[in-house]
Amino acid sequence: MYDLTRRSFVISAAAAGAALGLDGPLEVFSSAAHAQGSNPIGAPQALVDQGFAKFKVGSIEVIQVYDGHWEKAHDPGFVRNASLDETKAALKKAGLTDAFVPISFTVTVVRVGGRTIMFDSSTGGQLAPTAGSFVAKNLAAAGVQPSDISSIVVTHFHADHIWGLMAKETNAQVYPNAEIIVPEAEYKHWTAPELIEKVPEGARGAIRRIQATLPTWKNIKQAAAGTEVMSGVRSMATYGHTPGHTSYVVSSGSDSLIVGGDVTNIAALNLANPGWHLVFDSNPTLAEENRRKLYDQVVADKSVITGYHWGLPGAGTIQKDGNGYALVPAAV
């Protein structure tokens, strides 16, 4: 069902270095009911204080684990085809601060068929002082111990998604007993020896770290796009954010959940404005194409989908909103 066109392309240096049709606006995501509290990500304060959100999609138990946020300083080049004033206006419209771009990190864990599966791993406390140090605490608060996690499924290799797999000082595995499933195309891109010479010096550290760790781990499993990576979890190519960015459909009988990864950044920006090209997208044209394809399908099917940077609960359904989309957060 979710078969998005695959294309090949060369990643840009900038991205490599970056760690219901309705006539009127819906503004669902930024409703007062959702944007209560004074926290910068606009999520219900009670959820932020709790550190996690739980809900069910049929028999699939979904646990969204909050791991903080990044107060990204404004940069006129952050959205390639929108001005800084337009970016700030979009944030304000969503009820968010416009003093900076508030990018949150929310890890998805599912319990299905007797298994506990985690998608991505957080920043590991290695990118922003306000993020990455909460996953272990909030997992425990949600009733999940690291030893419960049988598989970790990765959407892509940006640092905020995989640094939580490795210790800051030693690169030792944080989850050595879990099977780690990675997209085949993503793995091939980032582990290619020649990639180092294709990017600026400032982008090479992350690549060196990936190449020094993942290829040596015995619990890594590469999975091709459009395949069942494990029983009940199917991958789909949503390339563009990175060369091998992959989303996943978790199924149990007739119930399904889509784990979207970084098909968008925060909902206020390129969910509401799917044509906006953020600097994080290595191929912005392809990213937009696959973003629209996926979300049009999600709207048509009334699917529940997660977004890594959507705060808490970090998941919901999507509705058309003029030329863009609006997130209706999951009830928790």
Name beta bridge partners: 316. Answer: 305, 329
Residue of higher predicted confidence among 136 and 245: 245
d(CA 43, CA 41): 6
Residue 160 backbone phi and psi in degrees, to 5: -70, -10
Asked if 236 contacts 228 with a C-beta cutoff of 8 angstroms, the reply is no
- Residue 298 is assigned to a structural domain of this protein: yes
- At residue 128, the pLDDT reads 85
- At residue 258, the pLDDT reads 98
Question: What range does the domain containing 190 cover?
Answer: 13-329
- At residue 287, the pLDDT reads 98
In this structure, the number of other CB atoms found within 10 A of the CB of residue 180 comes to: 21
Q: What percent of the chain has pLDDT over 70?
A: 88
- Residue 5 is assigned to a structural domain of this protein: no
- At residue 127, the pLDDT reads 86
d(CA 289, CA 240): 8
- Residue 292 is assigned to a structural domain of this protein: yes
- Residue 200 is assigned to a structural domain of this protein: yes
What does the chain come to in residues? 332
Over residues 234-246, mean pLDDT: 98
- At residue 38, the pLDDT reads 57
Asked if 307 contacts 314 with a C-beta cutoff of 8 angstroms, the reply is yes
For 252-286, the DSSP string reads: ETTEEEEE-TTSSSSIIIIITSTT--BTT-SSHHH
- Residue 199 is assigned to a structural domain of this protein: yes
d(CA 284, CA 272): 16
- At residue 131, the pLDDT reads 83
Instruction: Quote the mean pLDDT of the chain.
Output: 88
For 35-99, the DSSP string reads: S-SS-TT---HHHHHHTEEEEEETTEEEEEEEEEEEEEPP-TTSBTTS-HHHHHHHHHHTT--SS
For 197-237, the DSSP string reads: GGS-GGGHHHHHHHHHHGGG-TTEEEE-TTSEEETTEEEEE
- Residue 69 is assigned to a structural domain of this protein: yes
Distances (CA, A) of 39 to 45, 75, 246: 7, 22, 30
Two tokens at 203?
């982008």
- Residue 7 is assigned to a structural domain of this protein: no
The pLDDT of residue 321 is above 60: yes
Which single residue is written with the structure tokens 């002082």?
Answer: 129
- At residue 15, the pLDDT reads 31
Ranking 1-5, 173-177, 272-276 by mean pLDDT, the lowest is 1-5
Q: What percent of the chain has pLDDT over 90?
A: 83
pLDDT tens readout for residues 61-98: 999 999 999 999 999 999 999 999 999 999 999 999 99
d(CA 289, CA 301): 18
- Residue 111 is assigned to a structural domain of this protein: yes
Residue of higher predicted confidence among 18 and 190: 190
pLDDT tens readout for residues 42-68: 999 999 999 999 999 999 999 999 999
d(CA 122, CA 103): 13
Over residues 219-232, mean pLDDT: 97
The pLDDT of residue 24 is above 60: no
d(CA 131, CA 194): 32
Ranking 37-46, 47-56, 95-104, 203-212 by mean pLDDT, the lowest is 37-46
Number of domains in the chain: 1
Two tokens at 82?
């929108």
Asked if 273 contacts 324 with a C-beta cutoff of 8 angstroms, the reply is yes
Over residues 111-136, mean pLDDT: 89
Two tokens at 311?
């705060």
d(CA 3, CA 86): 33
- Which region, left, alpha or beta, applies to residue 11 given φ > 0 means left and ψ of -120 to 50 means alpha? beta
| CATH (domain of 166) | 3.60.15.10
- At residue 133, the pLDDT reads 64
pLDDT tens readout for residues 144-190: 999 999 999 999 999 999 999 999 999 999 999 999 999 999 999 99
Sheet hosting strand 115-119, strand order edge to edge: 52-57, 60-72, 101-112, 115-119, 151-153, 179-183, 220-223
Asked if 306 contacts 315 with a C-beta cutoff of 8 angstroms, the reply is yes
